[in-house]
Every structure is written in C-alpha cells, then in structure tokens.
Amino acid sequence: MYVLHLVLLLLSVAQGERHRWYHAYFPRFFASGPSAPTDERVAALPGLTVQPNYALYSGYLHGTSNNVQLHYWFVEAENRPNKAPLVLWLNGGPGCSSLEGLLQENGPFKVIPGPTLKYNPYSWNKVANMLYLESPAGVGFSYAQDGTIATDDDLTAQNNYNALLHFLEKFPNFEGRDFFIAGESYAGIYVPTLAVQLLRNGSPLKLKGLFVGNPLTNRDINVNSALYFLNYYGLTDESAWNTALRECCGDECVRKCTFTDNTSSKCTKAITYLKRVINSGLNLYNIYESCAEGATEAADGIYSHYFEFRPSVSHKFSRPKQLNKTEKVLPCIDDTVIRAYLNQPQVRSALHIPPEVHDEWELCSADVNKQYRHSYADTSDLYLELLHANVSVALYSGDVDLVCNHLGTEWFLDDLQVQADKPNLTRWLFVDEDKTRQVGGWKKEWKLNGAVLRFVTVRGSGHMVPQDKPLQAFNLFADFLKDNTSGSGLSKIVLCLSSLLFIHQLLN
C-alpha cells in the first residue's frame, strides 16, 4: 500500500501537484496539537492556488514585558512534525526582517512578481518545524507599545529568550523537543547571545546546535579579512596592497597583517584607498552579481559599520552611518516584490497583523539600525561556552560575500583553538539538479567533548546562501540536523527526502 502511496506522490511531484496528493495519500501527525492557538492559525495564504497541508501560524510573542511585541510566523514541518526538531530562524542587520528568510530564502514558498507565491522545493520545513521571528521590536511587523525601539545585543537576546518561552506557552507540545537556532549575517551575534541565555537561564527545549550563515563573529577579524578578500579576489591593485602592508605592518611580505592595530595616519590613508572599492557600487553581498539599482549608488547602508576601518581597540563596534528615510537600507538588494506582497491588506489580515501596526512592512529598518547599540566586538567566549556545554556549531559561508567573508569566519574558528591539531579543508559533494555530483565547497571540523564545530564554504554563493544556492543550503542544513538530533526519526526523514528529491530530479 505504501508503495502505491509513494508512486502517487512521485507522479504528483512530476506534475507540480505534490501538496494536493501528499495531503490525500500520506497520514498526518500534527505538531501543533489541540492546544495550539487556533485564532493565530493562517487559514488561507493569499498568492497560493493550493494551500499547504501543513499548518501555518502567525501572531505575536512578548519579550521581557508586554511592551515588546515580536511578530512570529511558524511553519509546521512537512514530514512527521510531531518528531521533527524545532528551528528558530533569525535574519540579521541589525534591523532586518526574518520574513526575508521565509519568503526569499529557506521558507516553504518564495514571493515572485505579481506579487504572488510559488512553492520552494528546497524548503527547510521538509525536515524541521520552522519558527521565523521578527526581532528586535521595530523590525517588520514587530513593535513596542510605547514606541521605544532602542536596544542592544543583550537586551535583544533577553527579549528573544522570553519570546521563546511565550511560544512554548502557545505550543506546549514542543517542550522537550530538540531545538536549533539558525540565521545569517548579524545573527552571528543574535544566535550565540540567545543560545547562552538558554544555557544560563534554562529552557524546556533541548538546545542541540547553532547553524549560522555568513556570520559576523569578530569585528576586527571581519575588517582585516575584508582587506585580504579585496586582494585575493583582484579587487585592488598590487601596488596599493603592498603600500598598505608596508605602512600598517612594516613589511610588504608579512604573512598576516592586523590592520586594526595600527593608528598611524599613513596606515589609515592606505586603508582608506583600499576601502574605496566598498563604496564603488559593487554588490557587496555577492561580488559577481549585479546591483539591482545599478552601480551608481555607493554601498552605504545597514552594513556600513562592518567596514569602518577605525583602528581603535577600545571601540567595540563603530557606529553605523545615520540613515534617513529616503536612503536605501540594503544597497543592491531588490525588495520591491516582497514589500508589495506583505503590504497587501489581505496578506496582513491573513497574518493577523493588528490595525495599530500601521507602518508599512520594510525589509530592514533604518530606525532600528541607527538606534541599535553593539555590545560585542568578539563572540569567542560565547561560542566556547556553548561548545563546552556540548552544543554543536556550524558556520557556513558563501565564498563570494564581502560583507561577512569566508576568510574571517575561518580565521575566527581557527583562533578558538578547540583542539590541538588544526584540521585540513576537504571538499564536500552534492548531487546537482542535472544528476551529476559536484563540489559544493570546502569544509573542516573540530571536536570538543560531545560537540562538533563545523566550518563550510558554499562555492559561488553570496551573503544569502539559501537564496543563491538553495539545494546546497538544504543539504547542509539537513545533514547538520541529522548529525545532532536525538534518536533516528530525523535520519529516516532525511533519507526519505533525499530519495524523493533524487527521483524528482530524474522525473523532470
């Protein structure tokens, strides 16, 4: 009988009707259960001709007080939701919405011109229950009742921690479930600070791992590695590079120059010359992709503070540029379609957005960004505390991203010195859509007690790996969950999905 079910499912995949047939032929075990908030269930999502067979919920979770109201969108796992782990996804910024992750990266559907939605064959909810949280207050549909949105890294972590506890009040079936925190970019700060809150304060969830893409981990390393990235990728001339090495480190042949340690005017001048590339109109998120609005606009936006080459060790994070409402927050990124979709009255109604949230949804908030106080110049102690508590960590990097480049992530992990011997980089492979095995990138692992620390590059991807390389991102995500989830339930899900994806590729 189940062979017949499988055949029908595969035929439906080939015809683009998977969701309708899956719902008809496969039994469901709902993760939400009878205690889930029925008034927050999304009955029908505008833009879908066929509604999903798994549950969607959208509503609000409070932070440390009811003043902070954080919007969440919960997507039930497509397969065995009662057994699949719970994963929280956070986009970065600070000030960018996690609905970017849901609707443009790893969610079950992607927004396309219309605006409307199409199903994503590489959605992460195939192997996990996905919780997308718009944080901090002032981002997306999230708000503070008194209008105060100024925050910092620690307060953001505390609010996110309390939001998780509130989520468990609404969805008590997830108590005791394996739990992962994922994200990208400034989530390199959000994720470990929240994870440490869970460790120190306790939680009904079983924290198993962190999965963060192109993360900001250490301010000085990010600055120094960005300069090396410019040189390695041919974005500056050799003469200017040698001048910077000579003026900042005293030797053109030095193997590794720490530019941020030198305060001389000549070093600053040399670095400023190299930095001109950053404001040249280059797409910093993917140096081989075009800018959506063309190359005339300088890249001064929400990530400008990542490239403030101020060699002052006392300055934890340089302040971001003060943006006004007319300036584009994320240069080179086209957010027209996602903004048009989420600002439709019928979409806001379906997501239970209250009328008092009268501002239009924005991909990133300039107000949140300019009022945000950066608390951490270095997250080494946070990651080490988590690893010593047997929480596994995977940091993956698209290798053509300049904002949070792969060199800096690798240097950061090497500096943690979690084991005596440094592992070597080895290739990792995946089955591409043309059925050939291809090199996905490079990886290396360290082990500490029962935890694994993993570094992975994704070949040809920029800052948003699930958007640029969705198949590769799904493979990395599913493998990490499989390696760090209790029991064998997820392994069976991943094995089944791998087979289905392979047969789906053969049929198309």
- List, for residues 74-94, the tens digit of each pLDDT value: 999 999 999 999 999 999 999
Q: Are 462 and 290 in contact (CB under 8 A)?
A: no
pLDDT of 278 > 90? The answer is no
pLDDT at residue 117 is higher than 80: yes
Q: What value does the mean pLDDT of the chain take?
A: 86
What is the arithmetic mean of pLDDT over 144-152?
96
State the pLDDT at residue 449. 85
Determine whether 374 is an active site residue. no
Q: Where are the domains of the chain?
A: 1-29, 220-331
Run of H or E including 451: strand 451-458
Spatial contact of 294 and 281, defined as CB atoms under 8 Å apart: yes
Mean pLDDT of 129-152: 97
Give the pLDDT mean for 48-66: 97
pLDDT the model gives residue 364:
95
The question of whether 380 is a catalytic residue gets the answer no
Q: Which of 98, 185, 304, 461 is flagged as catalytic?
A: 185
The CA–CA distances, whole Å, from 32 to 51, 73, 352 equal: 17, 13, 18
Question: Using one digit for the tens of pLDDT, what is the confidence trace for 324-338?
Answer: 443 455 778 899 999
Please name the residues in contact with 295: beta carbons below 8 A apart, sequence gap of 6 or more: 280, 281, 282
| Chain centroid offset of residue 318 CA | 23
468 flagged as catalytic? no
What pLDDT digit, counting tens, does each position of 223-242 carry?
A: 999 999 999 999 999 999 99
pLDDT tens for each residue of 27-39: 344 445 556 789 9
User: Does the pLDDT at position 270 exceed 80?
Assistant: yes
Mean local confidence (pLDDT), 465-491: 89
Q: Shortest CA distance to 261 belongs to which of 311, 321, 196, 200?
A: 311
- Quickly list DSSP for 15-64: TT-HHHHHHHHS----SS-TTS-GGGB-S--TT-SS--SS-EEEEEEE-S
Amino acid of residue 34: P
Q: What is the pLDDT of residue 34?
A: 54
Give me Rg for the CA atoms of the chain.
22
Catalytic residue among 71, 463, 468, 479: 463
Q: Taking residues 486-499, what's their average pLDDT?
A: 54
pLDDT, tens digit, 9 for 90 and up, residues 409-421: 999 999 998 876 7
Per-residue pLDDT, averaged over 55-84, amounts to: 97
Nearest to 217 by CA among 396, 461, 380: 380
**Distance between CA atoms of 105 and 451, rounded to whole angstroms?**
28
**Alpha carbon 122 to chain centroid, angstroms:** 15
Confidence check: pLDDT of 349 > 80: yes
- Per-residue pLDDT for 9 more than 60? no
Q: Given a cut of 70, is residue 18 above it in pLDDT?
A: no
* pLDDT score of 281: 85
Mean pLDDT of 462-476: 98
Strands 143-144 and 68-75, by their bridges, are: antiparallel
Report how many helices (DSSP H) and strands (DSSP E) the chain contains, helices first: 16, 15
* Six-digit token string for 408: 């800096």
Which residues lie closer than 8 Å to 75 by C-beta, 6 or more apart? 54, 56, 102, 107, 108, 125, 129, 130, 131, 132
My answer on whether omega of the bond before 204 falls inside 30° of 0, hence cis, is no
What is the pLDDT confidence band of residue 178, given thresholds at 50, 70 and 90? very high
Across the range 342-364, mean pLDDT stands at: 95
Q: Give the pLDDT score at 76.
A: 98
H or E stretch covering 217: none
Cα dihedral angle (188, 192, 197, 199), rounded to 10 degrees? 160
pLDDT at 1: 41
Q: Of 401, 406, 461, 479, which one is the catalytic site residue? A: 401
